[in-house]
Amino acid sequence: MNKPIIGINSNRVIKHETQYSHSVVESLGNDYVESVIKSGGIPIILPILSDEESIRRQVELLDGIVLSGGIDINPLLYNEEPSPKLGYIYPDKDEFDLALVKIAYELNKPILAICRGHQILNVAFGGTLYQDLSDMSGCYIKHHQQTKDGAASHTLEIIEGSILYDIWGNTALINSFHHQAIKNLAPGFKVTAYSKDKVIEAIESCEKDFVVGVQFHPEIMTAYNDKNMLKLFEAFINASSKNSSLDHKK
């Protein structure tokens, strides 16, 4: 079996402390790369593009997509005005990520969407977000942990009949680094896991074989050799292998 080619969307940052003034850098946490490699895939980092035809060509060359975490999403994209609690946003990245996920969905590419990626997945198909968890009634769990990033900090309650249930059963321990969350779920998706205070922690498509969003960071826990989190990446890589549209031997 050929190893599937997995695209991972990058972030864009400005590095001030370099020999080049205001150097713009496409960046990605290495844990995403290592998790794809550990689970049997070949990672490709995707730079932020603005031309939809080029983005489509990117996706056509891939067997699966990991949507990585990052900064907040522009609330205008889900018809809300910015809250004072909103963090930094980058509209160019929002537009790229939205185009990327919509094209990948259209082309039936398996998608594993992580943290911000999970939120982008929801917004792309008509869902909304809490701009800050303090706006959500009944939210009492600390969702931005203050311990090592690979440590589990709260419990995941998983719904039967989901991809996550098939991997882990009805519960798992996860890490947590977010101040936003899904508010209204996008049509065509279902919630597959909650935290104990009912924050939506995972969703999946009702129409596609493997389109999964998770609010936590399995790639970090995988980097800490968490075998449970590795199983999620292995399931994604397996789906991407089955979906392979290219003969990579050529």
Residue numbers annotated as active site:
115, 217, 219
Locate tokens 């690979």: which residue?
A: 150
Locate tokens 């009702």: which residue?
A: 206
Q: Parallel, antiparallel, or unpaired for β 11-15 and 23-27?
A: antiparallel
Q: Which residues pair with 129 in a beta bridge?
A: 182
What's the rounded Cα separation, in Å, for the pair 164 and 111? 14
Of 132, 133, 109, 113, nearest to 123 by C-alpha is: 113
Is the separation of the CB atoms in 67 and 122 below 8 Å?
Answer: no
Given its phi and psi angles, is residue 168 left (phi above 0), alpha (psi -120 to 50 degrees) or beta? alpha
Of 48, 97, 99, 105, nearest to 243 by C-alpha is: 105
Give residue 100's identity as a one-letter amino acid code.
Answer: L
- 3-state class (DSSP) for residue 62: coil
Of 120, 112, 131, 146, nearest to 217 by C-alpha is: 112
What's the rounded Cα separation, in Å, for the pair 82 and 73? 10
